[in-house]
Amino acid sequence: MTLPELKIGNLTAKYPIIQGGMGIGISLHRLAGTVAAQGGIGILSTAQIGFQEENFKRASVRTNLKAIKTQLDKAREIANGGILGFNVMVASFRYEDVVKATVAAGADVIISGAGLPMNLPELVGNAKTKIAPIVSSVKAAKIILRNWAKKYDRTADFVVIEGPKAGGHLGFKADQVEDAMQTMDDEVIKIIDHIKTYEEKFQTTIPVVFAGGVWDRGDIDHYLALGCAGVQMATRFIGTAECDAPDDFKDRFLKATKDDIHLTTSPVGLPGRAIDNTFTKTISAGVDAYKAQEAPKTPIIPLDPCLNCLQNKLCDRKTIPYCISQALLNSVEHRTEMGLIFSGTNGYRINEITTVKAVFDDLTA
């Protein structure tokens, strides 16, 4: 069977494949631009997107906002007219400003999760940028779409469902992940069925895209058969030459086994899936002890100057066991043993560094 196109409003991708946003610094202009050129949708992560810029440590917010356009423009040079956009976390510090910067830069799409993007339509306004919330349950889909319809008289241009096999932060509590592994297909069907209500209400088509553990053509065909219009893949693209991550980061995936990939504790209160190393073992052994300390607390991982990555209500420097930005930066600044290396469940299947074109050739054959 030939893979269908993915149509989002007036945008058409040759293949129903979105490359998931990966931060910090894993999916920037090279990866996103190359994916778009191959007929998929390339997504840049806004998480500390300016970390390579000279003024980043002194003025992280201003540098990140400026880097959004710089990175998108570079991606456009590679994309050959393909579709490009951003993943913007609701939990981001100055989320509203970040969204507005991506719109001003000319993003084709915005995918927003790590919280409920309740005011995303207001931030985008009448711009051409297409918007999608990330949901992991029909409950979340109901809350977001009902709010958008009631408050803004509009609906999503597409919806991304993130399952429990994804890398990075998950939309499930730690004790829910195993059960969700068994029931996710049923949840996908429920979400698709609920979205039909809004398709009828707004007389439009709302494509549903599944993310989390998608690796090969069999996975794509499976989710298309469930009723999805496409898939989002992130981890598999780490094993490409065009991925913006450094070689020593990719090498961690080449050496990883299935048993090396586990859920770990994040300071933002959500479980995250990552590759085991000294860092994950340290925080796994130390978080409970950290919480039991009397104030003032000594962080498990010493904090550098605050890089303003999360909203203040989500990150209190006096109570968090480690800085997640610093942990992720370690991973892409050649300190991988003490870095947080997010991975989907299939990260161990990366056994060579290939190219984006080769991945698309395999997926679309």
39: left (phi over 0), alpha (psi -120 to 50) or beta: left
Residue-level pLDDT at 168: 86
pLDDT in tens, 2-49: 999 999 999 999 999 999 999 999 999 999 999 999 999 999 999 999
CB-CB contact of 344 with 234 (8 Å): yes
Residue ranges with strand state E in the chain = 6-8, 11-13, 17-19, 41-45, 83-89, 109-113, 130-135, 159-162, 168-169, 208-211, 230-233, 261-265, 271-275
Which residues does 97 contact at the CB level (< 8 Å), separation at least 6?
Answer: 61, 65
Exposure of 220 in the CB half-sphere (CA atoms within 13 A): 22
Amino acid identity, position 213: G
The pLDDT mean for the chain works out to 91
CB-CB contact of 160 with 134 (8 Å): yes
pLDDT in tens, 244-297: 999 999 999 999 999 999 998 777 677 889 999 988 888 776 655 555 555 445
Bridge partners of residue 130, in order along the sequence: 109
> Which of 82 and 93 is assigned the larger pLDDT?
82
Q: Which pair of structure tokens corresponds to residue 70?
A: 């710089």
Residue-level pLDDT at 169: 82
Residue-level pLDDT at 177: 82
The DSSP line for 41-82 is EEEEE-TTTTTTSTTTTT-HHHHHHHHHHHHHHHHHHHHTT-
Residue ranges of domains in the chain, CATH in brackets? 6-244+350-364 (3.20.20.70), 248-348 (no CATH)
Cβ neighbours, 10 Å, residue 287: 17
210-213-218-224 Cα dihedral, nearest 10 degrees:
-10
Q: What does the pLDDT average to over 295-312?
A: 62
- What Å distances lie between residue 56 and 11, 63, 365, CA to CA? 34, 6, 43
Rounded to two decimals, what is the model's pTM? 0.93
